[in-house]
Every structure is written in structure tokens, then in C-alpha cells.
Structure 1
Amino acid sequence: MGITSEGPNPFTIGLEKTAANYAPLSPLSFLARAADVFPDHIAIVHGRQRTSYREFYARSRQLASALSRLGIGKNDTVTVMLSNVPPMLEAHYGVPMTGAVLHSLNTRLDAAVIAFQLDHAETKVLITDREFSPVMKEALGLAKVAPVVIDYSDPEYPQDGARLGATDYEDFVQSGDAGFDWALPADEWDAIALNYTSGTTGNPKGVVYHHRGAYLLAQANILTASMAKHPVYLWTLPMFHCNGWCFPWSISVVAGTHVCLRWVRPKAMWDLIADEGVTHLCGAPIIMSTLLNTAPQDKRELDRSVEFFTAAAPPPESVLAAMKGAGFNVTHLYGLTEVYGPAVVNEWKQEWDALPLADQAAKKARQGVRYVALEGLTVLDPQTMDPVPADGVTMGEVMFRGNVVMKGYLKNEEATAEAFAGGWFHSGDLGVLHPDGYVQLKDRSKDIIISGGENISSIEVEEVLYKHPEVQAAAVVARPDEKWGETPCAFVELKAGSNLDQTTLMAFCREHLASFKTPKTIVFCELPKTSTGKIQKFALRDQAKAL
């Protein structure tokens, strides 16, 4: 006989949300706390500039105040075209303090794409660095919107680009009130940021983040990186990329120091790591390559191990070994713009240290398990939505579920519904699920090569190419073939001084791959990359078709 109850449940009476027991989650609270508890600790280093948390918080409030006086409020878009400089950090707090949405432009975009984003986002205010004046002037000429333009002149690294607006950033900030009475969002589901996908086919989609997701991912970064109090974080990752994987907000959680890096240059990176006591940095594999290939006279000896977090393709074992020898401990992450950046980590287990190196490399090649802030990560058959067997072999689509999945795509209900079909976010990445629950990518759905009816993982072929000691970078795409439909075509970037030829590299591949998976074509060239260091496979697919 079941237990039944009559009348209202006591847990619903007099236990409502109040100002005393509930506040919407927002990463804005992290900066306020850091300024309260560690007001004199250095928050930002930029050239000779040193900014304390007291000053960082005050300047962010001044920016919010000045924007508010322009009429900027809830759900208005403020766009920034900035490199890794202090105003970019101030914008991550000052813009959402008004209720507005921060839209960070990729600094390598062309004018037409920038104009599309300005119009699609309905930009009200644009803060732009004078380094980018030429492309921004062209973009504003193409755009339909006419935002208020504020020019940033970097005092540490002056740029001679033309002023596009009537207001200088520093003057604008100083016009604001450092005591601006900002408030947490009325609803933690409110939008905090807008990031556009790469748009390799058609126009890019606008990915909308909310305060709750930013709060949770920012804290999860701290846990994943095992950050103690006052870490020193070097900005090698562009802050425009998924809001710098949410680290502009994360660092305030532990009152760390942001070390700004306007341009990724080998000597500058080594000097800052050594001189500023850097403990953590993030970046694509190209950052590792840049560090390792720095001229010997520009490298520095490190007196500590520096944590390096990388995404994209798993680093080859040779690179991991070289990074360890140089003083870096590498952790592999995985994510997408739609999940606030990294949401999966290759969680290393101590017992794996005892495995043979080849077995360790196999473990490190996996993307891993979900962040603590992510509720669900699995591999499903995209047609039936059934889980694939956890056998490390059967491929399906990697899918996400939880609070660090985007709100959706701006002004694109159809794409949003498609991405969330069946109650999961469809990543478009193909992968396998191992018996221990770790996910491993095998390809993007659009990058799988179908040759003679057989599926070939481009990642599998790339992993073999990376094992050759003279290969710097590699990407494999499908090349149309009359007989087989498609065959693997490899684009390879060699290390300096290498004389490796096509015949030798093909023979190397045949030693490690089934014959049908071996590249039928190898092109030696410098690989096209995005501003975040990812190889632009869409450009290589076009080249392969033209061969």
C-alpha cells in the first residue's frame, strides 16, 4: 500500500526564494569578492602597467557607468575588437554589469564577416583597438548599424591606426563613476556574451552564453586546473575565443594575476613566463610549437613546472616529452564554442604513470571525461539516439548536456532546435566511448573520408603523420577519386631544415596504417591556421578538390 499525503507539502510553504537566501549566479560576483578580500594584489600586468584588484574593479564599474550613460542596458550588444589587453578584461565585467551582452570579434576576421556580425548582433557600441582601424573602418562602411565607436590607444604598445570615433577609451572610462551601483542579473539565464562560430560554410552562427553557465564553467576551470590562490596566468589564448575559455572570469575566483600578451612572440612568452612567475597558460598546439622552436638564446630556464592546457588535436608523444623537458606539464582539453570552450578533460590517473610509454600515449590521445560543471557527456547514434557500445571501436556522435551548454543560436531557432534534438547538444564530432567512460574523437562528421565504402578517420591518419620526427604539423582531408569516391590527401608542414620527401613519408605511413588508409597524395606546405592555431581544413578541402 503506497503512502499518500493530503494538503500542501510542508517543503513548499514559507520556503520561497528571498533576497536573503538566493542570488542569481554570475561571474561578476567573483571580481567584487577579489576586490574586497585582496584589494592590493596585482590583478593585471601589461608591459610596465600594474593594476590592483581595487583598481580593476573600479575601472570595470567606471566602464559600466559610462556605457549606462550612453543608454546601454539589458540585452544591448557591446562589441569589442581588442587583443589580449587590459580593456578586454575590463569589458568582461563592465559590459555585463549594465545588463548588456559582450560580443568579442576575432581580430583576424575580414571586413565582410565583421560587418555581418555587427549587423546580426545589432551592435550599439564598438570598442576598437587602433591596430585594427583599417579593417574596422572598412567593416563599418559595409555594416548597416552605426554604433558609437570608442578607440583604444594602447599606452604600452602605441599603434598609428586612425581614430574611427570621437571618443578615446581612457577618456570614456574616466568619465564613469567608480562607485557605479551595478546589480546581478535579474535572471541567471540572462545573456552575458555572444560568440560567433568560425563560419566555414555560410554565415557564422551567434552562440549565446548565460550568466549561470559562465559562472559554473569559470569555477570548473579552477578545479580542472587545480589552481591555488594567486595563480599567474599568461594570456597566450585569445580572449575573443569563447571568452578566453571563461578564464577572464576564472582568475578572479582565486585572485590571480592576468599577464597580458598583445602578440604571441617566442621571446616575449619566455621572458614573461620566467620574469612574472607564470604558473598557467592555455593555447592551441601552435603555442607549444612556438615555445619549443624558440631560438636557444631566447629560451629561459624555469625553476618550476608550468601548467599548460591545450585543446584541438592531442599533442604527439614527442611534443609532450619535449614540453615536459622544457618545464611544462600538458593537460589535454576538449570543447566547442557552444559549450563555453573546454568542457571535457583528459583526467590523468596516477596509476597510468606506471604504464609503458606507448600505452600512456594511447591514454593521452583521448579527449577524456566531462568537467564537473557538465551534467552529461556521451557518444550516441545520431539517428536512433541510442548509446554506442563502450568498446572503444563503435563510432557515434559526441553529445553534451547541462548548464554549460549555450542558450542557443541568436536569431536562428531552426539551427538551435536541430542542435538540441533529442535533449542533447549535437557536437558534430564523431568519436568512440571506451570501457572506462573516456571519450575519444575520431573525426568531424564532415571530415570523415569514405573510400571504397570504408570509413577512414582523418585523425587516425594524422596521428601517424605526427609520429614522424620531421613532421611539424599535418592535416588530412578527402580528395575526390573516380575509382574510390574519396582518398586521403595529406597536407604536411615540415620542421625547419627537413628534406623529407613524399616517397619516404608514404612508406612510413604504410608501416603504421592499413593500405587503404595510407594517404594517396601528400602536399608539403605551410598549413593555413585560424587565429587560435586551428588548422583550416575547409581551405585544404578546396585545395584537394583542385589538385
Structure 2
Amino acid sequence: MTSPYSVDLDKNPANFQPLSPLSFLSRAAMVFPDHVAIVHGAARITYREFYARSRRLASALHKAGIGKGDTVSVMLPNVPSMLEAHYGVPMVGAVLHSMNTRLDAAIIAFQLDHAEAKLVITDREFSAVMKEALELADVKPIIIDYDDHEFPQAGEKLGSIDYEDFLQSGDPEFEWKLPDNEWDAISLNYTSGTTGNPKGVVYHHRGAALLAQGNVITGSMAKHAVYLWTLPMFHCNGWCFPWTLSVIAGTHVCLRWVRQKPMWDAIADHGVTHLCGAPIVMSTLLSTPAAEKRDLDHQVEFFTAAAPPPESVLAAMKQEGFNVTHLYGLTETYGPAVVNDWKAEWDALPAAEQAVKKARQGVRYAALDDLTIRDPETMEELPWDGETIGEVMFRGNVVMKGYLKNREASDKAFAGGWFHSGDLGVRHPDGYIQLKDRSKDIIISGGENISSIEVEDTIHKHPAVAAVAVVARPDEKWGETPCAFVELKPDQSATAEDLIEWCREHLARYKCPRHVIFAEIPKTSTGKMQKFKLREMAKAI
């Protein structure tokens, strides 16, 4: 029998439109045209101007031949042009590829080629590494140089046109439209590359719109909230906050560099209500000389991912006026999609017990449909007993489309109808999950993912090294840092300083181990390195 609700009730333009975060900016510009959208140095950009500049960018890109499905790559810090790119690029149906500003030239070149970049916007601070990368890459994109007029950089110009001139060639009334399909790609972000080249994670308009609104709910963000950009926007599109602030007509306070005094000044002078960052951001705030700190007349919400903060850091942050909330997610989930939702009754617990609660990753965002701990082989859901370890899995609209040009990896990640995170954890009786290990041995240092395999491969190439294993060592400032355990060849010698310097010659500096321990590496009967023992050894150092 046909249901009456399926007869003559069809989708049409009046009752169905594709979800996209682009509509948030047009609304904010209409309702609050004179409200300050962006603060950058002495510059103030209203929502009217922000929208017009984004449309200019879209128009200029269109004139340059950029259209649906084309990739626009950007190498930019947290500056206004990065925010404009989050709107202007997808307004023409193109895909925004934000590159990590700490990458080396070879990885950048790989990403440019893999993404088939048609146009690149690059800040002059990064011209040296970008010049090398562009020489290595096979693609020959249009190059646009960004000059930060608030904080001028002396780097070489790589293209024939400046960003502001490029914008002026565009139309501030450019008639953009929503995507034909909310499943269309909006952005491309690369993983850290744990077993070779990084994988390209593709986001769609629907997911970006939902997580952008989910951030408002998770962060309890009121209208006109003020957000400080301590989190790099190249990280998972800044956890979708470039789109979130338009939902509530909030103010973006740009921060080109994460430095102590500018952070405190920005928080106090602009009334910052929210910021995000890795443990290193908390350490930077707390270690600021007393003379450079500012008294805050309001509580600031601080959202952190990566390794859970130590009890001492949580207490110090609270004393300084920050309420810390622990989040968890992956590049594949648009950034954090799990929150340690704090319960009022936990405030009565002793500090040590509160810290135990704070260390848990938590429960799903409202924008995520389901979160589970399962046996990755049988796909059976495991007990909520806080003890049975399984793989953390996600399901919902804020999970990526898949990996670009990598069907095999996508199929593996989505096996059984769930996204497999590769992280191992437990679920407590109250439903909150807690990570116990990372099956891929990823080290999260200062918010950056570091592949232990990559560091091991580099150290192993040293002529004196017979065997090496790299694990995470807890660090108060960075959250975690790489710690290398090394066995030398019988007839060779090397010091810890020698191996660290070797790494600095072959890796980005943040990937280099802080500690090198010369010791016999514990192994199983089959010769497999027992990294769980090494982690315990690293903690004891």
C-alpha cells in the first residue's frame, strides 16, 4: 500500500536546497553588514566587506578559468586571505586545498601534483619552500603572491600578480550559487602520511555546513562571539570555524604567529570568548612572563585536542580564567567530532578525579550520527565496561567523502559501514570513550601528527644504527614528543646529539626526537618490537 506521504510531495527548489556553509556568510552580511567580521593587526573588516571580498575572489578565480572541481591550493597563515579563500574558492565550485605551513618542499610538491592544483595563493613568508616545491612539482599552476600589509614579509615574489590586485580584478557583486549537490567537494586536506605518501581527505558541502553549526552547539557560542585564531586554519579547515563564525556573525581575531604577548593582548583587548589549540598553546599562555599577562574580566572557553592536558595544566588554566574542554577527532571527521561534555555534578569531585574525567575523549557531537567501540575483525560492538579495548569508529554526515584517488584506502576505512579511526579505546559505562593507544603509532606533538614510521626510517638510514623504534613521550609543553630507542651496530658509534642532528638534516624540525635512548629494544618471540614497553620506558625518563 502506498503511503499518502509519498504521493505528490516531491522535492522542488522551494522546499529543498543543498546544505552549504557558503550561505552563512551571505546571511551575516545582510543582517549585520557593519559588524566587524575580521580583526587583523590594525585592520578591521566588516561583514559587508568580508562578503564583497570573498565574491571578488570568486569572480577573479572565475576569470582565471577556475571552475567546478578545480583545486586551489593555499599556503597561508591565519590571515584574512585564508578566511576569504574558505568562501571565494567554493563559490565557483572549486575545491580549497590548505597546506600545512610547516611541511617540506617534497611533501608540498607531492600534494600539488596529487591534487592537480590549478592555482596557488602563497604568503611571501613561505616563498623559499614554495619556490623549491613548485620546481619539484609537475603541475604548473597560476601563482598569486599574498602580501600581508599588516605584517610585511620580505620573501621573494613567485608569481606575476599580488593577491590584492587579483581581488580588484574581481566583481564584488559576483553572482555565485550554491553547489548543485551538497555532496560536491568543498575542500581537500592531507593526512600526515603514516605509511608513505599522505592521503587526500575530501570534505563535502553538507558535512562542512553541519560541523560548522555543530561547533556553535558544542562551544555554546552566543551571537557575536569573538574567536582567536590560535589553531592553524590549515588543520582540517580550522575545524570548520572559518564557516562557524558566520553562523553567529562572530568576529575572527587573526593571529599570524602564536606568540605570548599578542595572545594575551588580543584576548583582553577584543574580549575573546573562544579559542582552540593543542597543549602547546596552553603552555605558551601559561609560561608568559607576568608583566605581559593581562587580567581577564571574563571566562574564556578553550578547546583542545591531541593528548589530554595534565592536571597541573588544567588547574593553572582555570586560575588564569580559561575553561578547558577536551575534544577528539581526525582529519577524516572534519576535525573534532567528539567532545568531553562536562557535567555539573563533576565540579564537586576532587581535582585529581576531575582530571581523570577531563582526560576522556567523550561523546559524539550533535552533528555526528554515531560513535562506537567495536572489534575491527568481527565488527561486534564491545561492552561499555571501561576495560574492553576495541577500535573507535564513526558514522555520520561529518565523515569525509573518502580519500582522493585512493579507492582501496577508502573501502578499507569504511569497511562494515563505519569509518575506522585506527585508534584503540574503551567505552565507559556512562558512554564516554577514552583512547588507550593509537594503532598507527601516531605521535601528536603541538597539534601536529608525526609518523613514528617516518622518523624510524630516517634514523635507520644513519650508518651507525642497527635498529630503532620511536614512540611518544609525554611532554608538558607539547603534549607528546618523539622518543627514539636505538641499537647501534657493533663496530659503530654515535651520540644522541649525532642522531638528532641527522634527523634535523632529513626531517622537518618538529618531527625530530627530543630524546634518544641507547638500549636493547624489547621484542616478542617473533621479533616484533614491543612498543607498549617502550612507552612505559619513555615515561620514566
Pair 209,540 (structure 1): closer, same or farther in 2 beyond 3 Å:
farther
Q: Percent identity?
A: 71
Partner of 2:124: 130
1:246 aligned to 2:246? no
Cα-to-partner distance string for 1:48-81 (whole Å, 9 max, x where unaligned):
1000000000000000000001111111000000
Displacement after TM superposition at 1:447 (Å): 3.3
Which is further off, 68-77 or 409-418? Answer: 68-77
Say whether 1:68 aligns with 2:62. yes
Q: 1:514-525 residue pairs with structure 2 within 5 A?
A: none
The 1-side partners of 2:213 and 2:416 are apart by 28
For 2:291 and 2:89, the matched residues in 1 are separated by 42
Q: Distance in 2 between matches of 1:76 and 1:10?
A: 43
Is there any run of 5+ residues in structure 1 with no aligned partner, and where?
Answer: 449-457, 463-474, 480-484, 496-522
CA contact (8 A) 1:233 1:256 kept: yes
Residue 493 to residue 309, structure 1, CA distance change in 2 (3 Å): closer
Residue 440 of structure 2 aligns with which residue? 446
Describe the SS at the equivalent of 1:432.
Answer: strand
1:201 aligns with 2:195: yes
- Structure 1 Cα separation of the partners of residues 174 and 30 of structure 2: 16
Determine whether 1:435 maps to 2:409.
no
Determine the structure 1 residue equivalent to 2:486: none
Match of 2:528 in 1: none
What's the CA shift for 1:541?
10
| Matching of residue 309 in structure 1 with residue 303 in structure 2 | yes
Instruction: Give the deviation of 1:17 after TM superposition.
Output: 1.0
Equivalent residue in structure 2 for 1:228, among 214, 222, 238: 222
Residue 253 of structure 2 corresponds to residue 268 of structure 1: no
Report how far residue 351 of structure 1 moved: 1.1
> Quick one: which of 322, 341, 354 aligns to 1:328?
322
| Corresponding residue of 2:97 | 103
SS in 2 for 1:217: helix
Q: 1:489 to 1:187 in 2, by over 3 A?
A: closer
Preserved CA contact (<8 Å) 2:375 2:382 = yes
Number of aligned residue pairs = 482
Provide the secondary structure at the position in 2 that maps to 1:442: strand
Distance change in 2, residues 1:157/1:382 (3 Å)? same
Q: Give, in whole Å, the separation in 2 of the partners of 1:541 and 1:346.
A: 32
Residues 1:412 and 1:250: Cα distance change in structure 2 (over 3 Å): same
Residues 7-406 of structure 1 aligned to structure 2 (within 5 Å): 8-406=2-400
TM-score, normalisation: structure 2: 0.84
Deviation at 1:493, TM superposition (A): 5.3
SS in structure 2 opposite 1:428?
A: strand
1:115-174 CA distances to partner (integer Å, 9 max, x unpaired)? 000000000000000111100000000000000000000100111111111111000001
- Does the residue aligned with 1:377 lie in a helix, a strand or coil? strand
SS of 1:163's equivalent?
coil
Q: CA deviation at 1:487?
A: 9.9
SS at match of 2:45: strand
Cα deviation 1:12-34 (Å, max 9, x = unaligned): 22211111111100000000000
What are the Cα deviations for residues 89-137 of structure 1, in whole angstroms up to 9, with x where unaligned?
Answer: 0000000000000000100100000000000000000000011110000
* C-alpha contact 1:199 1:205 (8 A) present in aligned 2: yes
Q: Secondary structure at the match of 2:324?
A: strand
Two-structure CA RMSD over aligned residues (Å): 2.9
Q: Quick check: 2:189–2:202 contact (8 Å CA) kept in 1?
A: yes
| Aligned-partner Cα distance in 1 for 2:40–2:300 | 20
Which letter maps to 2:58?
A: A
| Residues 452-484 of structure 1: CA deviation (Å, up to 9, x unaligned) | xxxxxx99xx9xxxxxxxxxxxx9x999xxxxx
Residue in 2 that maps onto 1:408: 402
The answer to whether the 8 Å contact 1:284/1:534 transfers is no
Q: CA deviation at 1:545?
A: 8.4
**Aligned 8 A contact 1:308 1:329 in 2:** yes
- Contact 1:489 1:544 (C-alpha < 8 Å) held by counterparts: no
Q: Assess, with a 3 A threshold, how the Cα gap between structure 1 residues 542 and 208 changes in structure 2: closer, same or farther.
A: farther
1:534 to 1:373, Cα distance in 2 relative to 1, 3 A: farther
Q: Deviations over 1:476-530 (max 9, x none)?
A: x999xxxxx99997746578xxxxxxxxxxxxxxxxxxxxxxxxxxx9999x99x
Deviation of the 1:534 alpha carbon: 13
- Which residue is equivalent to 2:538? none
Q: Determine helix, strand or coil for the equivalent of 1:172.
A: helix
User: Which sections of structure 2, spanning at least 5 residues, go unmatched?
Assistant: 457-466, 478-495, 522-541
Matched-pair contact (CA < 8 Å) for 2:283–2:476:
no
Q: Which amino acid aligns with 1:151?
A: D
1:517 corresponding residue in structure 2: none
Q: Which residue of 2 aligns with 1:426?
A: 420
Could you say if the C-alpha distance between residues 227 and 489 of structure 1 is closer, same or farther in structure 2, counting changes exceeding 3 Å?
A: closer
How far residue 200 of structure 1 moved from its aligned partner, in angstroms, is: 3.5
Q: Deviations over 1:188-241 (max 9, x none)?
A: 000000000011431000000000000000000000000000011000000000
Report the CA distance between 1:9 and its aligned residue: 3.4
Letter aligned with residue 250 of structure 2: G
Task: Give the AA of the match of 2:82.
Answer: M
* Distance across 2 between alignment mates of 1:68 and 1:62: 10
Amino acid at match of 2:89: V
TM-score, normalisation: structure 1: 0.83
Give the whole-Å Cα distance in 1 for the aligned partners of 2:519 and 2:53. Answer: 52
Give CA deviations for 1:218-268 in whole Å, capped at 9, x if unaligned: 000000000000011000000000000000000000000000000111011
- Cα displacement (A) at 1:388: 1.3
Q: What are the equivalent positions in structure 2 for 1:460-471 lying under 5 Å apart?
A: none
CA distance in 2, matches of 1:288, 1:268: 14
1:295 is displaced (CA, Å) by: 1.1
Q: Which amino acid aligns with 2:221?
A: M
Secondary structure in structure 2 of the residue aligned to 1:170? helix
After superposition, the Cα gap between the structure-2 partners of 1:545 and 1:156, relative to the gap in structure 1 and judged at 3 Å, is farther
What is the deviation of 1:357?
A: 2.2
Structure 1 runs (4+) greater than 4 angstroms displaced: 485-495, 523-526, 533-536, 538-547
Contact 2:112 2:137 in 1 (8 A): yes
| Structure 1 residues 254 and 546: alpha-carbon distance in aligned structure 2, compared to 1, 3 A threshold | farther
